[in-house]
Amino acid sequence: MKIVCYECGKEQKDGNFVYRCSCGGLLEVIHDFTGLDAEKLKRLFAQRLSERMSVYASGVWSYKELIHPELAESDIVTKYEGNTGLYRSEQIRSALGIRELWLKAQSENPSGSFKDNGMTVAISHGRALGFERFTCTSTGNTSSSLAMYAALAEKEAIALVPRKQISLNKVLQTLAYGAKVIGFDGTYDDGIRFYERYGRELGVYICNSINPFRIEGQKSIVYEMAQSLNWELPDWIVIPGGALSNVTALGKGLQDMLELGFIRRMPKVAVVQAEGASPFHMMMSQGKRNLEPVERPSTIASAMNIGNPPSWSKARDFLSRTGGETCSVTDEEIMEAKALVDRSGIGCEPASAATVAGVWKLIAEKKIGAEESVACILTGNLLKDTDVLREYLLKDGRAQMLAADLTVESLERLIRGS
C-alpha cells in the first residue's frame, strides 16, 4: 500500500501525514492487489456476513483486505458501521417511471450518515499514527461522525463549523458526543482552506475527505451494494455532490472491483448538485477542465453547501472515463423528492433527496433511460435537519399535528375527516 499524489504521482511518507503534495495535488492510497483471488475473497466476505462482535462485523472492515490491509486489528475503532439497507420502493419507482430502483440507506449508519464508512478508517489510521487530536471542518455530518469515533477512541475531537446555513441538529449531535465545536464566519470551503494551510502547525489529524483514508473507507458503500446484489450492479448509481468524496470513493471502489474481477462491467455514475452550489455540474456540463469555485454557495440542502469541492479533479476524471453524468436541481425539487422518500418509510435528509430529484431530471433529459436500473445513495438520516422539516411540513401546511379530546366521537370525526 502506498500513498501517492493524485496529480503528479509522487509518493508520500505516511508518518509525516500531509494532505496535499508539494505540487498542490490531493493524495490517494494505491493498493497492490496482485495475488488476491476474487473468488476466495467473495467467499470470505460472504462468511463475514455472520460475524457479530469482531471488527469484521463492520460493513467497512469486512472488506479490510481492499481498504487498509496493513492496519492492526487492535487499532481499529469501529461501531459496526455500514451494513445499511438496500431498499426497493414501488412508490418512488413508479413516481420516477424507471424500470428498477434501489435506495441504499447510508442514513442507517451509527451517526446517521455515510461519513461513518470513511471516518472509522480515518480515525483508526490516525490513532495508529499516534495522533491525540482529531479534527474536521464540517456542515455537520462529518463533525458528528468524527465526534462519535473520537469519543469511542477516547481522543479529543475539534470541529470547525460555519456559523450559518448548517443544521442545529448536527451541531447538537457533535456537541453531545463531547467534541469542541468552533463556529466561524464562512463556509466549509473556508474551513478546508484554513486546515490545508495550518493543520500541520496545529498538530491535528484532519478527518475531512482530503484525507485519503476517508475515501478508502467510503469505497465500502459500493462494495456492500455489489455484494447485496450478488455482484451485479444496476446501470446507474446516483449520488449527491458536495465535497465530491462520494463520487471519488465510489469511482475508486468500482475500479477496484472491476480490476479484481468482482464485477464484469462498470455502471454509470451520476452526480447531482443543488443549483445554488453546483460548481462541479457547471464545469462538467460546459466541458471545462478546471473548476471555477462558487463564492457564495447557497442551498437548503446544507450538507451540499459547498462552493469549492476539494475532490473535483478525481471526480472529473472518473466521470469522464466512464461516461457519467451530472445535473443540478432546485431546492424545491429537492424537497419534493424528500417528501416522496420520507413517505416511502425510508426517509432522508435534503441532500440525499437530491438523488431522486436528479433521476427525475436525468430521465427527462433522456440521459437515463426509463428501461434502465438505478440505485440512489441516501447519505443522511431524516432527523439530521428538523428545521428544514418543520419549515416544509408545518409552516406550509403540508402536514399538521391534529388536536382532539380523547373521546370516541372526536377521534372518529378526525379519522373519518368529517
Within positions 238 to 277, which residues make up the interface with ligand LJ64HWYM, using CB under 6 A? 242-243, 245
Are 157 and 127 in contact by the 8 Å Cβ rule? The answer is no
229 annotated as a binding-site residue: no
User: Per rule CB under 6 A, is residue 174 in the interface with ligand LJ64HWYM?
Assistant: no
Can residue 111 be called a binding residue for ligand LJ64HWYM (CB under 6 A)? no
Interaction of residue 142 with ligand LJ64HWYM, rule CB under 6 A: yes
Task: For residue 141, say whether it is annotated as part of any ligand binding site.
Answer: yes
Least Å from the CB of residue 320 to ligand LJ64HWYM = 22
Q: Is 303 near ligand LJ64HWYM (CB under 6 A)?
A: yes
For ligand LJ64HWYM, the closer CB: 147 or 368:
147
C-beta closer to ligand LJ64HWYM: residue 224 or 349: 349
378 binding ligand LJ64HWYM? (CB under 6 A): no
Shortest reach from residue 413's CB to ligand LJ64HWYM, in Å: 45
Q: What are phi and psi of 34, to 5 degrees?
A: -60, 140
- What minimum distance in Å lies between the beta carbon of 64 and ligand LJ64HWYM? 22
Q: In this chain, which of 124, 139, 273, 381 binds ligand LJ64HWYM, going by CB under 6 A?
A: 139
Question: What is the CB-side half-sphere exposure of residue 91 using CA atoms within 13 A?
Answer: 12
Q: Is 290 marked as binding a ligand?
A: no
Residue 219 CB, shortest distance to ligand LJ64HWYM, in Å, is 14
- In the list 78, 111, 124, 208, the residue contacting ligand LJ64HWYM (rule: CB under 6 A) is 208
Count of chain residues binding ligand LJ64HWYM (CB under 6 A): 13
DSSP-derived pairing of the beta strands 180-184 and 100-105? unpaired
Rule CB under 6 A: which residues touch ligand LJ64HWYM? 136, 138-142, 188, 208-209, 242-243, 245, 303
